[in-house]
Every structure is written in structure tokens, then in C-alpha cells.
Amino acid sequence: MQAKKPQDSLVIMNELVLPNDTNMMHNLMGGRLLYWMDIAAAMSAQKHSNRLVVTASVDNVSFQQSIKLGDAVTIEAKVTRAFNKSMEVRLDVWAQNIPSGTKIKSNEAYYTFVALDDAGKPVAAPELVPKTDEEKLMFEGALRRRQLRLILSGRMEPNDATEIKALFMAAKHEV
């Protein structure tokens, strides 16, 4: 299996916020945005693994800025790290009011996907080789984020989270 670069998994998805996508305040409904984000992230994971994928987890998604009726939404998704059978995908969401020319960052999140074989069983994903400094930072942080996900889901004991423990131990010694 050949290693891939994060850029190989880049997906840029655009949507226009229509009346059916909004709530009573003419803002994009959060569920609709999560739906779009899941599609973009899944396509990114599929491009990386060349497999069908399923969503394994969604990290905290905070809605920093509301997205309005008529805004153009751009979702950028890219794999940040591949583990044995899972892949972390980072998403950045931008809203643009085309007539005014304003553009804001609305959301960011991390999704985790698992690649599946033809029988629907999890399979290994290709290695990810970061190239840029930013990609390397995302890659390094992915292990900490993964350990936190596993602790919160009850699938890892906090004492086994070497990366997270090292962060707290370093902070404790600096005091």
C-alpha cells in the first residue's frame, strides 16, 4: 500500500444556503451543516483510502459564526493522519456573502473514519506523509486528539494515554 500526502485527500465542497436549509431566524440549521461536513469528510477519507468508509466519531463542533440564508458555504476537508484502520479528517467551514464580498470562518472540526473492505470489515488505511509545516503540526496533534477520543469513549484508560499524559506532566513540572 503506497503512502499518500494530505493534499491527495483534499476535498473542497461548496453549497448555497437556501430557504429549506434555514431555521426561523434565516440561519443555516446546524444539522444541515453537519450533514454537509460528513459528506465532505467521507469523500476525503475515501480519496485517501480508495475504499468505502464509515464515520467512527465526530469531535466537538462549535458554531463560531452563524451562516445566513444566501451565503455560499465552502467546506475544506483533508486527512491529517492515518492510524491502523482509522483516519482523522480536519474540516474548515467558511461562509461567504457573495454580494458584499465578506467571508468568515464559521466552523472547524475533526471527524474519524474507518475504511472497509468488500465484505464491510475494517481494513488498514495507507500511511499519511505530511509535507508542509502545517501538515506536520496537524499530524503530530492527531495522536493526542485520538487518545482523547478514546478516553472519552471509554476505550482507553487515561493512564495509557502517553501523549496526553506527557502534556500534563510537562505542565506540572513547569509550575
Q: What is the mean pLDDT of each run of 10 residues along the chain (175 residues)?
A: 95 98 97 97 98 93 92 98 95 97 96 97 97 95 86 74 65 54
- pTM for the full predicted model: 0.88
Q: Domain range for residue 54?
A: 6-130
Q: What is the pLDDT of residue 166?
A: 65
pLDDT of 107 reads 93
User: pLDDT tens-digit profile of 88-117?
Assistant: 999 999 999 999 999 999 999 999 999 999
CA 4, CA 48: separation in Å to the nearest integer? Answer: 7
Is residue 142 in some structural domain? Answer: no
Residue at 108 is within a domain:
yes
User: How many structural domains compose the chain?
Assistant: 1
Give me the helix-helix angle, 162-174 and 133-152, nearest 10°: 100
